[in-house]
Amino acid sequence: DNAGIEMIYTIPFNMVILGIDPGSVTTGYAFIDKQGSTIRVLEYGTFHAPETQAFENRLLHLITSLEVLLDKYKPEALSMESAFFAINARSALVLGHVRGAVLVTCKKRGMAFGEFSPSSVKQAVTGKGNASKEMVANMIYARLGIASADVPLDATDALALAACHANVMFRPELAALRG
C-alpha cells in the first residue's frame, strides 16, 4: 500500500540535446549541452546529399552521417518539428520518411523525443509565434553566442529546436508549447 507516500519525479537538468530540421536533400542538425541554466553549443551544421542520388541513398547518407555524430556526442534527447500538412503530397511523404528514419535511429539509442510545432519554436525563441526564419536565426545567434556568418537556415532551425527543447522540457509553465 502506497497511501501517504509522495512520489517525487526528477527531471535531468544536465542533458545533451540534438535538434534536427529534416529535409530530403539538406537536413540541419545541432547538438547542445544544457548544464543547469547554461546552454553550450557543441556542433551544428547540415547534412547534404546530392539531389542526383536516389532517395534511398540520400537517406542512407543522412543516417550514416548522423550516427557518427550520435557516437561522438551521445545525446539523451531528440527535438524535431511536428509533422506538417503540405500542399505537395510527395514532398510530405518524403519528409515523413526522413523524420521516421531519424526518429528510429535515435530511439534505438534510447533517446527521449520532443516534438514542437513551428509556431511553438518561434514563440519559445523570439516571443512571437509568427516570426520569420531570419528573426529566429538572429535571436539564436544572440542567445547562443554564435557568429552569424554563413550559418545555413537549416542549421539555425535545428539550433532553435534544440534550445526550445532545453528550455521547455525543464519549465512546466511552458508545457503548452510541446507538440
Residues with active-site annotation: 21, 81, 154
| 137: nearest Cα among 154, 117, 120, 114 | 154
Handedness of CA 117, 118, 124, 129 (dihedral sign): negative
Do 79 and 114 touch, CB atoms closer than 8 A?
yes
C-alpha cell at 66: 548522423
- Residue 106 host element (H or E): helix 89-107
Closest by CA to 99, choosing from 110, 107, 88, 89, is 107
Largest CA distance in the chain: 64
Burial of residue 146, with CB atoms counted within 10 A of its CB: 0-12 exposed, 13-18 middle, 19 or more buried: middle
Beta bridge partners of 40: 33
The candidate with the shortest Cα–Cα distance to 160, out of 58, 72, 51, 39, is: 39
